[in-house]
Structure 1
Amino acid sequence: MSTTDSTSSTGVTGAARVERDRLRALLEREQAAFAERNPRSAAAYAEADSLFGRVPMTWMNKTCAHFPLYLDTARGAHVTDVDGHEYVDFSLGDTGSMAGHSPAPVVEAVRHRVEQLGGLAVMLPTAQAQAAGAELAARFGLPRWSFSLTATDANRWAIRLARAVTDRSKILVNSYCYHGSVDESLIVTSPEGGAPRPGNVGAPVAVTETSRVAEFNDLDGLARELAHGDVAAVLMEPALTNIGIVLPEPGYLEGVRELTRRYGSLLIIDETHTFCAGVGGATRAWGLEPDVVTIGKAIGGGIPAGAYGLSAELADRLLGREDLDLIDMGGVGGTLAGNALSIAAVCATLGEVLTEEAFAHMHALAERFEAGVARVIGTHRLPWSVTRLGARVEYRFADPAPRTGTEAAAVHDQELDDYLHTYLANRGILMTPFHNMALMSPATTEADVDLHSRLFAEAVALLLGPDAAA
C-alpha cells in the first residue's frame, strides 16, 4: 500500500502528559481571542434567526469556539472570512473541495453550461455523461456507472440494489464508519452486540433490524456476522476516515473480499474520503475487487455530484430483472441526479484537475505535513501518532494509532481538539472541524504545509509548558 504510511512515537519513553487545567486556560484564552477577532462572523450567527440552529445545515455548529466563521471568498487552497482574515484551508469542504476551491477548469465548464448551453434541470441526458462514466470506469475498474448528487444517495441506492439482487435484508458496516446519513450505517459494536450509534436522530426502525456490524480489521468478527446468511452487502470504507484515519492491516481487505464471496454477500466500497489515495482511490491503489464503488464530494470540484459503479455481472443481473422498477418509482434515483451541470463539473474535475500529476503533488505535500507533525511528537515524546492516507493526514492522541473504529472513538479528546483548532484558526489555519484531519489539494503549497508545522509546534510547546521539551 504505497500511498499509505503511519508514523508514531512507539517505543519512546517518558512521554509528556497534558495538564488539564493548563489546557482549559489556554483554550479559554484562544476562544476569547477568536471572538474578539471575528465580530462580523459572531454578528451573522447571532442574527440568523430564520435558520434551524442558526446555520444552513446543523453540522455547521461543529465549531471550536462557540460560533462558526462565515465565508467571504475561496480560491485554491485559501479562504477568506467576512472579517477579512485569510486562512490556509486544510479542511477543503471535508473532501468536497479536494480539487481546490473553484479550480479554473471547473469554473469554465460550469460557466459554459450555464451561459452558453443552459438546461440545468432538464429531464434529458447529455452525451457528456458517457465521458464522465468512462473516466470513472477507467479509474476504478467497474464498467457501469450511475450518478447521484451525494455519496449518501449513492450508498442508499447501492444498498437497495444489493437487497434486490440477493433477496437478503441486512447490510453490514464497520463500527464508527462513515457513509453519510445512511440509516443502515448508524450502528456500533457493544458488549451485547450491535447497538445504535450514540446520538442517532429519529431512526425509522431499530438499526439492529436492518444492519449488522463488525469492527474494522476484525476478520473473525466479520465472519461471525456473515455466517447468519442474511447480509446482502458489506458496505465499507477501505480505511476508516471520519473517526480519524484507521488503516487496514496487512491481509484485512483481501480477507473481507474472500469472506463476502464465501457467504454470498456483495462488497460495496465507499471511496468518498479514500479517493485521496490516488486517481482511482484505494480500489485502484490497493488492487481491490468490489462489486460496487460509491463516491461523492470531490468528483464534482465543489458542485454537488456523486456516483456509483457496478461490476458488469451485477449490472446485467439487475437489468435482467423485469420485476424491478429501475425507471419510475422503484426507489432508485432522483430528479436532479445526473443533471447537465453536475456532469459537466465531473468531467472537468476528473479530466483536468485531479490528474495523476496532481495526486503526486498532493501526496508529496501530505508526506511533508506528516513529517512536520511527527517531529513535534518525537521532540516532546508525546504518546500521540500521525497517520497518512495518500493526500490525507491525521494526528491522534494515542500511540500506537487506533486499529478499530471503537478504539478511535475512545481516544477522542474534545478539549484538546478545540484548543489546537482554535489556536490554528486564530493564526490562519483551518482544519476539518470534526477531527484533526488535513487534506492537500492541487493548489496547496509547501509554504502552506510549513505554516501548519510551525504553528502546530508552537501550540504544543505552549500547551506542555517550558519544562516539557525533550
Structure 2
Amino acid sequence: MTPSPAAAPTLSDLIQAEAQRFVAEHPRSCALSRQAAQVWRGGAPMHWMTDWASPSPVFAAQGVGAQVTDVDGLLYDDFCLADTPAMFGHGQEAVARAIADQARRGTGFMLPTAAAVIVGRLLAERFGLPLWQVATTASDANRAAIRWARAVTQRPVILVFDGCYHGMVDDAFVTLKDGQPVMKPGLLGQVHDLTVTTRVIPFNDPEALAAALAPGDVAAVLAEPAMTNCGMILPQPGFLEAMRDLTRRAGTLLVIDETHTISTAPGGYARAHGLEPDMLVIGKAVGGGVPAAVWGVSAELSERMDAAAARVGPGQSGIGTTLSGNALALAAMRAMLSDVMTDAAYGRMLAGAERLMTGLRAVIAARRLPWSVVHVGARVELVFAAAPPKNAAAMREALDDELRHALHLWLINRGVLIAPFHTMMLVSPVTQDAAVDRLVAAVDGFAAALEGLS
C-alpha cells in the first residue's frame, strides 16, 4: 500500500514548534518565571508582563538605545519600547544624569522645585496650552480631567469611543456589543452600571457623535485623536474637525489623550493638526520611564475650574496623589522636554517609521497578503485586513488572535520585540536602519512560513 501523504502543518503546529524553540533558547527566563510565580501573583510584578506570546516572559537584563538584552544573553531589537515610556530609547544619558542628580538632593518634598517653572514653560511652548498640572500616570491625569469636566459643566455624562482605552479609568470601560453599550467584560469589581454616565459611540461617525451630544448632558468627550488601543484606527478626513465643532456647539469639553499619539510630532497630534482641545493629557514618554504624566488646560477652562472649586468650597478634591509632581519626575521631564524630545529626534523617528512601512508594504505586496499598514507618526501597525478598519467593530472582525499570537512568538524567537497587545511597532530616534530591516525580514519569514500551512 502507498502510504498516505503527511498532513500539512497547521498554525497551531507552528506555534507549538516556536514555543519549544523559546523554551530551549531561554532557560534562565523560564527558570526565573517559575521562581517569580512563587512570590508574585500571576507570575510577575505587573500582570501585563505576562501578556507576551512566549511561554514565559523574557526577563530583561538591560536596555541600551533601541535594544534589550535578556538574562540569557540574547539581544533584541526593541520596537515595543516599554509600550511608549522608552519611545526615545533606553538609558537616555540626559535623563540618567538628571534623575541621579535629583535623587542625591531628594526625590520629593511635597513642595515645588525651580525645575517646575521651567517644565511648565516648556509644556506651554510645546503643546500650546498655557496651564498645567502633573500626575503620576496618564490614568490619573484622565481621571482628573473627567472629574474637572463634570465639575465645570455640572453635567454627568462622559462620551468615549468604542474600543478606547485610557488607562485605569472606570468611566472609559464601556464598549459596544451588537450596537448596544455594555461594560467591558474584563472589568473587575465594578458595582456601578457605568453605562448610565458613560456614552459610547463608534469612532469616525460624526452623525452618531451629534446624536450623542444632542441631549446636552455630556460633560466631555475623552478621545485619542487616532485610536491606538484596539488596533490602530485613523481618523477619517474631517472627523476630528467635526468633533471639535460639535463639542463646542454642545458646550462639551474636548479632552485629548496623547499618551500614544505623542509619536506624531514634537507637539503631539493635536498641535500638528490644529485640533485645539480644552484639555490635553500626555503620559508615559514625557518622563522617559520615570512615572509621570501631565495635563494641560486652556485659560478659559482654568477660570471655569476656579469657579467650580469656589462653588464646592475647601476640602479634599479627590484629585491628585502625594507622589504627583515630585522632584524626581520634574527633573526627568525637564531633561526629556529640553534634551531628548527634540525636532531632530522626531525627524529620525519618522524617517525610520517610513522605512518600516515601506518594507512591510513590500512584503504584503510580494506575498499577496490581505494585510495593510497604518501609522501615527513613529507608531506603525500591521493590520490583518486588506483595508484599514475605520472603527472598532470593523477592527474586531479583522483581529485573528491565533495569527497574532503566532507572529509575536515568531518575532521574539528572531530577536524582535513589538508591543504584545496587538501588532504595534514603535520606532525610536536611535533605532538603526538595520534593525528595521531585520524586523521586515522577520515578518517576511513569518509570511513565508504561513504559505506552507494548511
* Native 8 Å contact 2:210 2:246 kept in 1: yes
**How far is the alpha carbon of 1:79 from its aligned partner?**
0.5
Q: How does 1:11-30 map to 2 (within 5 A)?
A: 22-30=10-18
What is the CA–CA distance in structure 1 between the aligned matches of 2:175 and 2:80, rounded to whole Å?
Answer: 26
1:403 to 390, 398, 411: 390
**How far is the alpha carbon of 1:136 from its aligned partner?**
1.4
Deviation string 1:400-443 (CA, Å, 9 cap, x unpaired) is: 11100221122211111111111111111001000111101121
* Greater Cα shift, 271-280 or 397-406: 397-406
**How far is the alpha carbon of 1:180 from its aligned partner?**
0.5
Give the aligned partner of residue 83 of structure 2. 94
* Native 8 Å contact 1:99 1:349 kept in 2: no
What is the CA–CA distance in structure 1 between the aligned matches of 2:107 and 2:383, rounded to whole Å?
Answer: 43
SS in 2 for 1:189: strand
2:23 to 35, 56, 61: 35
Using the size of structure 1 for normalisation, the TM-score is 0.92
SS in 2 for 1:188: strand
1:216 to 183, 195, 203: 203
Kindly indicate whether residue 445 of structure 2 is the aligned counterpart of residue 455 of structure 1.
Answer: no
Q: How does 1:113-128 map to 2 (within 5 A)?
A: 113-115=102-104, 118-128=105-115
Using the size of structure 2 for normalisation, the TM-score is 0.96
Give the aligned partner of residue 283 of structure 1. 270
**How far is the alpha carbon of 1:191 from its aligned partner?**
3.3
What is the CA–CA distance in structure 2 between the aligned matches of 1:20 and 1:148, rounded to whole Å?
Answer: 54
**How far is the alpha carbon of 1:202 from its aligned partner?**
1.6
The structure-2 alpha-carbon separation of the partners of 1:430 and 1:325, relative to structure 1 and needing over 3 Å to count, comes to farther
Deviation string 1:355-380 (CA, Å, 9 cap, x unpaired) is: 11100100000000001110111011
What is the CA–CA distance in structure 2 between the aligned matches of 1:252 and 1:20, rounded to whole Å?
Answer: 47
What is the CA–CA distance in structure 2 between the aligned matches of 1:100 and 1:367, rounded to whole Å?
Answer: 18
1:424 to 408, 411, 417: 411
Q: Which runs of 5+ in 2 are unaligned?
A: 1-6
Give the residue type in structure 2 aligned to 1:460.
A
The structure-2 alpha-carbon separation of the partners of 1:364 and 1:452, relative to structure 1 and needing over 3 Å to count, comes to same
SS in 2 for 1:194: strand
What is the CA–CA distance in structure 1 between the aligned matches of 2:313 and 2:335, rounded to whole Å?
Answer: 28
* Native 8 Å contact 1:65 1:422 kept in 2: yes
The structure-2 alpha-carbon separation of the partners of 1:328 and 1:278, relative to structure 1 and needing over 3 Å to count, comes to farther
Q: How does 1:50-129 map to 2 (within 5 A)?
A: 50-115=39-104, 118-129=105-116
Q: Which runs of 5+ in 1 are unaligned?
A: 1-18
How many residue pairs get aligned? The number is: 447
* Native 8 Å contact 2:74 2:415 kept in 1: yes
* Native 8 Å contact 1:102 1:302 kept in 2: no
Deviation string 1:43-101 (CA, Å, 9 cap, x unpaired) is: 11111212110111112221212221111111110111111111010000111111211
What is the CA–CA distance in structure 2 between the aligned matches of 1:331 and 1:343, rounded to whole Å?
Answer: 22
2:300 to 313, 324, 347: 313
Deviation string 1:220-270 (CA, Å, 9 cap, x unpaired) is: 111111112211000000000011111000000000011111111100000
**How far is the alpha carbon of 1:381 from its aligned partner?**
1.2
The structure-2 alpha-carbon separation of the partners of 1:144 and 1:327, relative to structure 1 and needing over 3 Å to count, comes to farther
SS in 1 for 2:19: helix
Give the residue type in structure 2 aligned to 1:77.
A
What is the CA–CA distance in structure 1 between the aligned matches of 2:429 and 2:54, rounded to whole Å?
Answer: 29
* Native 8 Å contact 1:243 1:405 kept in 2: yes
Give the residue type in structure 1 aligned to 2:98.
A
